[in-house]
């Protein structure tokens, strides 16, 4: 028997409150897939079976009065394939792709990187902190635009690690 609407609502609610980035279910005629975008909102990608069209709206995991969520287009932040390595910001600050406004960027999408190579700068309290790569690989995604603020733990880059 496929899941009821209520059951699907419950699942959505539950997953919304979790920190999973992806949830897939194939259950007796119901297929449900939830993916979390990098801005924290959930998107219902493929409600099939018993799920009516009415639930196929993004479920923003925000309380009333909270800042509006800026939906990031799916193309800009595809879910990482299983072998992509993430480089996260170790500090709060402002993200810069080059050592100075007129200088070349440290890396581009497609750049081949060695561990220890500088990927970017995060400025915090007027200090320029160089963020180094911890693996050998190739840049697949650069998730932050030049000059944008970053939080602690925010993903900056995704790399395909070199095959051994």
Partner 1 sequence: MFKKILIANRGEIALRIIWACRELGVRTVAVHSEADADSLHVKFADEEVCIGPARATESYLNISAIISAAEITGAEAIHPGYGFLAESAHFAEVCHACNLKFIGPDPEVIRMMGDKARARAAMDAAHVATVPGSGLVDTEEEAESAAEKIGYPLLIKATAGGGGKGLRLVTSRQELRRFLPQVKAEAGAAFSSDAVYLEKYLVGTRHVEFQVFGDEHGNLVHMGERECSIQRRHQKLLEESPSPALDDVLRARMAAAALKAANAVGYANAGTVEFLLDKNKDFYFIEMNTRIQVEHPVTEGVTGIDLVKEQLQVAAGEKLSMKQSDIVMHGHAMECRVNAEDPVTFRPCPGRITAFHVPGGPGLRVDTAAHADCLVSPYYDSMIAKVISRGNNRAEAISRMRRALESFIIEGIKTTIPAQLRILTDPDFIAGNFDTGFMTRYQDKPATPPGEASDSDRTAVPAV
For partner 1, the binding residues (CB under 8 A) are 13, 17, 19, 62-67, 91-94, 124-125, 149-154
Report, in Å, the least distance between residue 39 CB and partner 1: 12
What CA–CA distances, in Å, run from 57 to 22, 43, 105, 122? Answer: 16, 7, 38, 35
CA 27/CA 36 separation, integer angstroms: 21
Q: Which is nearer to partner 1, 15 or 113 (CB)?
A: 15
Q: Which is nearer to partner 1, 8 or 150 (CB)?
A: 150
User: Contact, 119 vs 107, CB < 8 A?
Assistant: yes
Report, in Å, the least distance between residue 6 CB and partner 1: 9
Q: Which is nearer to partner 1, 62 or 162 (CB)?
A: 62
CA 50/CA 46 separation, integer angstroms: 12
CA 41/CA 72 separation, integer angstroms: 9
Q: Which is nearer to partner 1, 113 or 156 (CB)?
A: 156
Report, in Å, the least distance between residue 124 CB and partner 1: 4
Report, in Å, the least distance between residue 164 CB and partner 1: 30
Quick count: other Cβ atoms within 10 Å of Cβ 62? Answer: 12
Report, in Å, the least distance between residue 111 CB and partner 1: 26
Q: Which is nearer to partner 1, 60 or 84 (CB)?
A: 60
């Amino acid at each position: 028997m496929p899941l009821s609407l209520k059951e699907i609502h419950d699942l959505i609610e539950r997953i919304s409150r979790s920190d999973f980035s992806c949830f897939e279910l194939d259950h007796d005629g119901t297929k449900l897939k939830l993916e979390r975008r990098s801005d924290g909102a959930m998107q219902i990608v493929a409600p099939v079976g018993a799920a009516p069209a009415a639930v196929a709206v993004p479920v923003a995991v925000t309380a009333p009065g909270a800042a509006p969520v800026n939906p990031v287009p799916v193309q800009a932040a595809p879910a990482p394939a299983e072998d992509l390595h993430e480089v996260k910001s170790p500090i709060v600050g402002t993200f810069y792709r080059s050592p100075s406004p007129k200088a070349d960027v440290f890396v581009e999408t497609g750049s081949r990187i060695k561990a220890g190579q500088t990927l970017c700068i995060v400025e915090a309290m007027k200090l320029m902190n160089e963020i180094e790569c911890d693996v050998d690989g190739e840049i697949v995604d650069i998730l932050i635009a030049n000059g944008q603020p970053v939080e602690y733990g925010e993903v900056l880059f995704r790399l395909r690690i070199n095959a051994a």
